[in-house]
Amino acid sequence: MRIERDSLGEVRVPANALYGAQTQRAIENFPISGLKPRPAFIWSMGMIKRAAAEVNLELGLLAPNMARAIIQAAQEVIDGHWNAQFVIDPFQAGAGTSHHMNVNEVIANRATIILGGKLGEYLVHPNDHVNLAQSTNDTIPTAIRLGCLWRLDELLLKLEKLSAALHAKSGEFANILKSGRTHLQDAVPLRLGQEFGAYAKAVELDAERIRYAAEGLKRLGIGGTAVGTGLNAHPEYRHRMVTRLSTLTGFHLAESDNLFESMQSMADPVAFSASLRTLALTLVRIANDFRLLSSGPATGLDEIRLPAVQPGSSIMPGKVNPVMAEMLNMAMFQLVGYDTTVALAAQAGQLELNVMMPIIAHNLFEMMHITIAAVGVFTDRAVTGLSANKDRAEAWLAHNPIVVTALNPLIGYRQGAELAQEAVTRGMTIRDLAVEKAKAGLLKFVDGRLITVQEIETALDQAMQPGGGL
């Protein structure tokens, strides 16, 4: 161990740790979940610290050798070399000061070593140099925004691939007629391809919502320091930081038009979280449909067959379950819970600051990570290898009494209802029963004229064609 001092006194720190006294206090104070910061957070904070050192060097506020050491140390953080040194539980002191000081101490100690010093000597000081012109209150919300943007393209690509896979199935299944179902009861026919085309469109629209919500994350309050006044920051710092971060990250970032709002409000992260929740609800619905459509096979719908990726039972030989749809359900349930936490944490902000930022950051980064992984696996191991059971789908349709809806314009609603009820009672198809009654002269047009077998056949055949009205 080595001895360090902070404003509260001496602290024993592991001898080889890059972090220092305030991090060690947080380790001891918050042994809550065992969770650690996500790489998105570490990357974002490294970016902020590198940009700040470069800007402060340009402004003549940091000595060149010190600035260069901070820049090198921050880049090593960005590159993931010191991830194991970021050790603070997300359930911690409000605002993220512990997270922030963990970053400051790691970079300060690493920069000190680069300059020839030793751990804990702080030739580069965590507060005076690494944290120059910054505070927890403007760096943590900036890190939240940058961390979500860091994996945005990756997320959107996963959604694009899922939508494309569903679109491909829509084309593959374009000629398979099946029963529609509403209220989980038989409804008018549609094509299996149309059903899958709707899934593809829903995912596509959710991706657009996420892309739109992400635009709000590009507005940065960096330079507002503690409450939005910019106290202790150079007048040009704010503008230069946004410009520099845009260059370093490749994101099209913008300055906040109201730094006070940017300190107080977590509305932009909430909106982004809500867009992920909307996607989660869509994916739960699709996963549930996959489970229903593949149910059975002997006693269920069995209209689609999901790839068999693992045995489904420890006791029932040959059983195969829709495990990828089940996985997606559970992952998306978790997302909804994360979003609820983000919403509650956001409304808990008071006056000039939201102190619940650590859990907002953690949950947003978890949402991104889980969604990217779950959607990717579901696409590759469920959707891509999915096949249709054409015979079963069309067999269900043949026995669907609601096919009678196609005859409504000819025979009217009342006769149609009677025909449907009799078909169910007698176990006949609508086509066979309608033909039987037409031959017997028992089926009439709405105007009272007898309908012919040919007219029945034509109406049902036309309804089953693309654009046939069903």
Q: In Å, how far are 220, 238, 453, 470 from 60, measured between CA atoms? A: 23, 15, 93, 73
The answer to whether residues 281 and 206 touch, using CB atoms and an 8 Å cutoff, is no
Rounded to whole angstroms, how far apart are CA atoms 308 and 303?
Answer: 15
How many alpha carbons lie under 13 Å from residue 272 in its C-beta half-sphere?
26
Q: Report yes or no: 276 and 206 within 8 Å, Cβ to Cβ.
A: no
Q: Cα 82–272–323 angle (5° rounding)?
A: 80
Measure CA of the first residue to CA of the last residue in the chain; give whole Å. Answer: 76
**Tokens, residue 147:** 């961390």
Which residue among 275, 313, 314, 387 is the active-site one? 313
Give dist(CA 112, CA 125) in Å, integer: 8
In 3-state terms the chain splits into helix, strand, coil percentages (rounded to 5) of 60, 5, 30
Rounded Cα distance, 236 and 311, in Å: 63
Chain mean position to CA 416: 46
As beta bridge partners, residue 255 has 220
Can 313 be counted among the known catalytic residues?
Answer: yes
Catalytic (active-site) positions: 313
